[in-house]
Structure 1
């Protein structure tokens, strides 16, 4: 089974992103920063937050679904805010999505918020609402289940330091994963955690028997050349001892986001 975890950067690099995902065809894709705008057929819209202006693929959820036509797609909204089509505002959902190959059986799942709650009337003040999704899948090849959970961790304008909110977020993620997994399950927890490698987040997840593959295998960061701020880490992939890791990579090329894809083979 091949699992990819990636922050899609709102589809800013949509063409290489869609080409990569279509060619990689993972069995499970955990994708964060997904834009879903059913109110428009526009291809591109613009995100504006003060001086921060970024092109957004208006229907990234639909576009990724089109290059993974044999997957079941689940979109988990964190907020409904506004994107811009020139001077016109367009209501748009923002969140994360999980894509599971359709011939795999999803035998359990849960969606929940790790920070705040759904924001229906705008993206809200920073740090904004964040959600997580966990799926329990029956792996027919192995004849046993695997539980996979991912989140997009809160963004604090002060940086990636530990805060009470981030500790609470880690506990909620751990609780969500534990609620979906059965005792003895293979367990994978991943996402853009928005924390540094030494974060207390990993102690919390360690209580579930999880260990991080990014730092554990000596990778020096998870950001691409499109990220020009200090701090090369954001994304992590953790597994428990029941997971037989056949391969793991922080994919450097092609560049499809300001984050690098995390590719796990089990």
Structure 2
């Protein structure tokens, strides 16, 4: 089974991103920073937050689903706010998406929030609401179940330091996984955690029996050349049994986001 985790950057590099996902087609795709704007047929919109202005792909969720026609597509919104078509506001939902190949039956799932709750009337104040999604799938090739959870960790404008909110977020995330996992399952957690390698978030996962693969593999970071700021770590993937890992890498090329895809083979 191949599992990929990626922050899609709102589809800023949608062309390379869609081509890469169609070619790679992992059995399970955990995608963060996904836009879903069902009220518009526009292809591109603009996100505005003070001086922060970023192009967004209006219906990235539908476009990814279209290039992965053999996958079940699940969108998990964190908030609905306004993106912009020139000076026209367009209601748009922002959150996570999970895509699971039809060869893997989904036998359990839980969706919830690891920070705040759903924001229906705007993206909210920083640090904003963060959702998470946990899936339990059955791998008939191996004759066993695998439980997978993803989140997009909260962004704190002060930086990626440890905070009470981040510690609480990690505990809620692990608890969400336990809602679907059963004894004997291989457990996988992944996402853009928005923390540094020595963080309390990763320590809590280690205490929960997980082996984190980015730091264990001595990778030099998880951000692509499109990310110009200091601090090259954000994305992580951990497993409950390292012996089940056949391969793991941080994909440097092609560049499809300001984050690198994390690719795990079990």
TM-score between the two structures when normalised by the length of structure 2? 0.99
Q: Look up the match of 2:241.
A: 241
Is contact 1:226-1:258 (8 Å) kept? yes
What does residue range 126-145 of structure 1 map to in structure 2 within 5 Å?
A: 126-145=126-145
> Hey, which bits of structure 1, 4+ residues long, moved more than 2 A?
none
The match for 1:85 is 85
Aligned to 1:230: 230
Residue equivalent to 1:202 = 202
The answer to whether residue 19 in structure 2 is matched with residue 22 in structure 1 is no
Worse-superposed segment, 201-210 or 38-47? 201-210
Partner SS state of residue 244, structure 2 = coil
Q: How many residues align?
A: 266
CA distance in 2 between partners of 1:72 and 1:241 (Å): 26
Structure 2 partner of 1:193:
193
**Aligned-partner Cα distance in 2 for 1:16–1:33:** 16
Matches within 5 A, 1:248-263: 248-263=248-263
Structure-2 change in CA distance of 1:86 and 1:243 (3 Å): farther
Distance (whole Å) between structure 2 residues aligned to residue 227 and residue 256 of structure 1: 12
- Normalised by the length of structure 1, the TM-score is 0.99
**2:89 aligns to what SS in structure 1?**
strand
Tell me which residue corresponds to 2:54.
Answer: 54
Structure-2 residue corresponding to 1:217: 217
Larger mean Cα displacement after TM superposition, 195-204 or 123-132: 195-204
- Partners in 1 of 2:33 and 2:239 — Cα distance? 23
Give the distance between the partners of 1:178 and 1:217, measured in 2 at CA: 26
